[in-house]
A = this chain, B = another copy of it.
Amino acid sequence: MSLASDQARPGAAEKPTLYKRIRLDIETRILTGEWPPGHRIPFEHQLMARYRCSRMTVNKALSELAQADLIERRRRAGSFVRRPQHLSAVLKISDIRAEITALGRSYGYQLIDCRRRTATAADRARLGVSTAGKVIAIACRHSADNVPFAVEDRLIDLSTVPEAATADFAHEPPGSWLLHHVPWTEAEHTISAVVADDRTAKALDIAVGSPCLVIDRYTWRSARTVTAVRLHYPGETHRLVARFKGG
């Protein structure tokens, strides 16, 4: 209850808005363990009194904490510090070109194969569609500073993205093209490990039998399949980093 001393500290940073201060105060207490899981947070009217503000203001702070799953709010009972069930991490998977250039390395792209065809049974299974429309199948390679970085094997559903028929995948990687032409998709990623087969090893310039990290991404847009892609990364050099948020 030693809260009343937060007023106008001379060295303190720019005063943020009040609701943000309330939110940060509570968040800090939770994260430091001062308020452990199950602990009941002061009622809204108590926080109103402590911070001398209206209920809407503390409500905004608490609502955001609830949205972030840090607290649980129960009618009539109060708000409680949550115990997280499973730790979840946010994994950022950039466009490969962006990822490489962000590292300050030169990006290289080679189209290995690109063909347009009517979807085979295998294509339909991979895209999760039942009708046999046209698709584009692409194999290509990404490199950083002229060292192979990843090989890509992709299928694009032309019935969802007809514009892709006219795209020039000889010079622009399909991932970048799709990112700029098909916004706001949803995706599911599956990450696994394999050893490089002959073809993959050759494309990545690694030994057959080397470990590879595989990312399968299946992308859709309001219930319509956009693309399915499989990326092979050399597992000894490439790492996926996911950070933050846990319990």
A residues contacting B by CB (< 8 A) are: 30-33, 36-37, 56, 64, 67, 70, 81, 83-95, 98-99, 179, 183-195, 209-214, 219, 221-222, 233, 235-236, 238-247
Cα of A225 to Cα of B127 in the assembled complex, Å: 43
Closest to A191 in B: B240
Check B184 against A242 for contact (C-beta < 8 Å).
Answer: no
Known: A89-B91, A195-B210. A241 touches B185 (CB 8 A): no
Cα of A171 to Cα of B162 in the assembled complex, Å: 57
A183: contacting residue among B37, B194, B221, B233, CB under 8 A: B37
Cα of A245 to Cα of B209 in the assembled complex, Å: 34
A246: contacting residue among B56, B67, B186, B191, CB under 8 A: B186
Extra pairs beyond A86-B95, A194-B235, A209-B209 (14, CB < 8 Å)? A31-B184, A33-B183, A37-B183, A84-B183, A86-B99, A89-B92, A91-B91, A186-B244, A187-B245, A188-B241, A188-B242, A191-B242, A192-B239, A193-B194
A92 proximity list for chain B (CB < 8 A): 86-89
Nearest CB of B to A208, in Å? 11
A195 proximity list for chain B (CB < 8 A): 195, 209-211
28 CB < 8 A contacts A-B: A31-B184, A37-B184, A64-B67, A85-B94, A86-B95, A86-B98, A87-B185, A179-B247, A183-B247, A184-B246, A184-B247, A187-B243, A187-B244, A187-B245, A188-B241, A188-B242, A189-B241, A189-B242, A190-B241, A190-B242, A192-B213, A193-B211, A193-B212, A193-B233, A193-B235, A193-B236, A195-B195, A195-B211
Check B93 against A90 for contact (C-beta < 8 Å).
Answer: no
Q: Which of A84, A88, A219, A235 has the most CB of B within 10 A?
A: A235
Cα of A192 to Cα of B33 in the assembled complex, Å: 32
A244 proximity list for chain B (CB < 8 A): 186-188
